[in-house]
Amino acid sequence: MTLRVAITRVMPDAERTAARVKALGAEPIIAPLLTIIPCGYDTSVGGAQALIFTSSNGVRAFPAVRDARHLIVLAVGDATAEAARTAGFRDVRSADGDVASLAALTLRDLHPNAGKLIHIGGEHLAGDLSGQLQTAGFSVERRVAYSAQPAHVLPAPLTEKLDIVLFHSARAAETFIALGAPHAAEMTAGCLSAAVADAAAATAWKRIIVAPAPREDALLTATLRG
């Protein structure tokens, strides 16, 4: 029987995930639980040595690429790095992981005295990247480029009993639970990280699977081939 897999992440990233789920022989069902709302913010980059992006949403919400192509870009993972290269940035480096690996990449590749860092992200962040880098002597400016607004009503597919519900963020898991989490006890929650799994664990599931690394390939392998 073909597994029915709900993808709760935002568009257009959900479409890429759906293609990967389908390639693994499962039926992808796109059911976003969050909507990205761009914010007006300061896009100047004077005095910066690098831009930091913790999601591809941040890259898409940055309109001043022409003035910032010369800067180093540090991306939390490969998908965000790919978005940055597509946008036109020239020197893009992927941490291939989470906030901890992004902090480690920054400490390895950059120097506090070479200029400030500009972190472009959403209103809600996982971890304290700025705090870690400031402790190491970096000057970090955080720019809020967008907010991820939770759904007020469950997308219709999530009211049905499916096989797997994929969560790429704790906010998506929290939103599903806040909206009643129907059939959760009969389904598997596939979680990108331990922090996402902690959020999902606020309700009872048939099973919670945590990706062995905070990457989508690891998540899909664990949930669809584990």
User: CATH code at 114?
Assistant: 3.40.50.10090
Residues 92 and 119 in one domain: yes
Residues 56 and 107 in one domain: yes
* Interval 92-120: pLDDT, tens: 999 988 888 999 999 999 999 999 999 99
Residues 50 and 120 in one domain: yes
Q: Could you say which of 131, 148, 165 is where a domain stops?
A: 148
pLDDT at position 150, please? 96
pLDDT at position 188, please? 98
> Cβ-count burial of 181 within 10 angstroms (0-12 exposed, 13-18 middle, 19+ buried)?
buried
Asked if residue 50 lies in contact with residue 74, where contact means CB atoms within 8 angstroms, the answer is: yes
Q: Could you say which of 92, 125, 148 is where a domain stops?
A: 148
Residues 162 and 213 in one domain: yes
* Interval 149-188: pLDDT, tens: 999 999 999 999 999 999 999 999 999 999 999 999 999 9
pLDDT at position 99, please? 87
pLDDT at position 98, please? 86
Residues 159 and 71 in one domain: no
pLDDT at position 8, please? 98
Q: Mean of the pLDDT values across residues 15-38?
A: 96
pLDDT at position 214, please? 87
Asked whether residue 30 carries a pLDDT value surpassing 80, the answer given is yes
* pLDDT band with cut points at 50, 70 and 90 for residue 225: confident
pLDDT at position 124, please? 81
pTM for this predicted structure: 0.89
Residues 53 and 139 in one domain: yes
Residues 126 and 168 in one domain: no
pLDDT at position 181, please? 98
Query: What tokens appear for 202 in the block?
Result: 């606020």
Question: What percentage of residues in the chain have a pLDDT greater than 70?
Answer: 100
Helix axes 13-23, 216-224, angle to 10 degrees: 40
Q: Domain tally for the chain?
A: 2
Reported as half-sphere exposure (CB side, CA atoms, 13 A), residue 224 has a value of 24
198 lies in which domain range?
4-33+152-224
Residues 217 and 119 in one domain: no
Residues 98 and 13 in one domain: no
Asked whether residue 226 carries a pLDDT value surpassing 80, the answer given is no
Reported as half-sphere exposure (CB side, CA atoms, 13 A), residue 136 has a value of 20
DSSP label of 67: H
